[in-house]
Amino acid sequence: MTAPLRIHQRVQRLMGNRFELSVVSSDADWANTCLDAAIEEIRRIERILTTFSDDSQTNQINANAGIQPVQVDLEVFALIERSLRLSALTQGAFDITYGSIDKRFWNFDTTMTALPDPKTAKRMIRLINYRNVILDADKHTVFLKEKGMRIGFGGIGKGYAAEQAKHVLRERGVESGIVNASGDLTTWGMQPNGQPWTIGIADPNLATRQAFSYLAISNMAVATSGSYEKYALINGKRYAHTIDPKTGYPVSGIKSVTIIAPNAELADALATPVLVMGVRVGLDLINQMKHIACIVIDDNDVLHTSTNIRLTTPVVA
């Protein structure tokens, strides 16, 4: 007699975030072996991309800023190449050189009571400029033109890792599952009962993170960015922890951006720029992209969606 299909799950802190991996299988031992392989893949990516280890490829690039190009793995080179294309597409609202800003400048905790003056903010962002990342496709080298420049993958790395973990699981024959990297998640296949995977979008006004809306998202990816937990309240105005690379100031006006896309890397990378660009410009960008959808909640709790979102109200019995 064949055992019934079940969801086998692993929750682990990886890349500084809570990862939750779920696979559907009737074989618990096999499922756990597959989960082990997926977790090792995320750890491998973390070792390459982290800025907390001097010998990571990211920090080797940063340490040689303004000095010399650094040869990197094709995988890292390709990720930087895709990041720069997104920077151009979003006119700099997404920028992997954001790491150049001094982390002491913005401290999003309760002690932050005033904004810095605009001149200081402008000076802090001087080195943020994706156009100063020089790639050599023949040698696989990366060169940051200015001393002090730094790149980081905070806006795309989690989504990339989720997709790579999914790739490992599918290669091993896992037909259904979810990899959730702290809200940046990718899904494939169906639940054990044959129904599509469903996710809830957290209400940004509730500390309990209770869902205000549900989406059936099998074979799709979702990423959410916003001021859910990390923000500063100054003179009654809410500032998200995301910094606008052009002004050096934190973005305001939007509480939450949810992107629905074919893969988690793209969803992760688009959530931040829509937050930076604002409701009108951000949705205009998404409406021009194929197979991408977006849900925005502004500071006044008004819901905005891309034109391809169909909202329905549940029938109350």
Q: What is the pLDDT of residue 89?
A: 94
- Banded pLDDT at 165 (limits 50, 70, 90): very high
Which string of b and e fits 130-158 if b means at least 16 CB within 10 Å? Answer: bebbebeeeebbbbbeeeebbbbbbbbbb
Mean of per-residue pLDDT scores for the chain: 88
pLDDT, tens digit, for every residue of 203-246?
A: 666 655 566 677 788 899 999 887 665 667 777 777 767 778 88
Q: What is the pLDDT of residue 116?
A: 72
Better pLDDT: 135 or 312: 135
Any residues with CB less than 8 A from the CB of 130 and at least 6 apart, and which? 83, 84, 87, 88, 92, 95, 96, 97
Q: What token pair was written down for 31? A: 């499922």
pLDDT, tens digit, for every residue of 78-102?
A: 999 999 999 999 999 999 998 766 6
| For residues 173-199, average pLDDT | 93
Q: What is the pLDDT of residue 70?
A: 97
pLDDT, tens digit, for every residue of 284-314?
A: 999 999 999 999 999 888 989 999 887 776 6
Q: What is the pLDDT of residue 72?
A: 97
Q: What is the pLDDT of residue 227?
A: 64
Q: What are phi and psi of 219, to 5 degrees?
A: 65, 30
Q: What is the pLDDT of residue 230?
A: 63
Q: What is the pLDDT of residue 215?
A: 79
Is residue 299 packed enough to be buried (19+ CB in 10 Å), middle (13-18) or exposed (0-12)?
middle
Are the beta carbons of 8 and 25 closer than 8 angstroms? yes
Integer Cα distance of 16 and 30 in angstroms: 27
Most confident of 137-146, 193-202, 242-251: 137-146
Q: What is the pLDDT of residue 211?
A: 67
- Banded pLDDT at 103 (limits 50, 70, 90): low
Annotate the chain with three-state secondary structure: CCCCCEEEEEEEEECCEEEEEEEEECCHHHHHHHHHHHHHHHHHHHHHHCCCCCCCHHHHHHHCCCCCCEECCHHHHHHHHHHHHHHHHCCCCCCHHHHHCCCCCCCCCCCCCCCCCHHHHHHHCCCCCHHHEEEECCCCEEEECCCCCCCCCCCCHHHHHHHHHHHHHHHCCCCCEEEEECCEEEEECCCCCCCCCEEEEECCCCCCCCEEEEEECCCCEEEEEECCCCEEEECCEEEECCECCCCCCECCCEEEEEEEECCHHHHHHHHHHHHHHCHHHHHHHHHCCCCCEEEEEECCCCEEECCCCCCCCCCCC
pLDDT, tens digit, for every residue of 5-64?
A: 999 999 999 999 999 999 999 999 999 999 999 999 999 999 999 988 888 999 999 999
Are the beta carbons of 155 and 87 closer than 8 angstroms? no
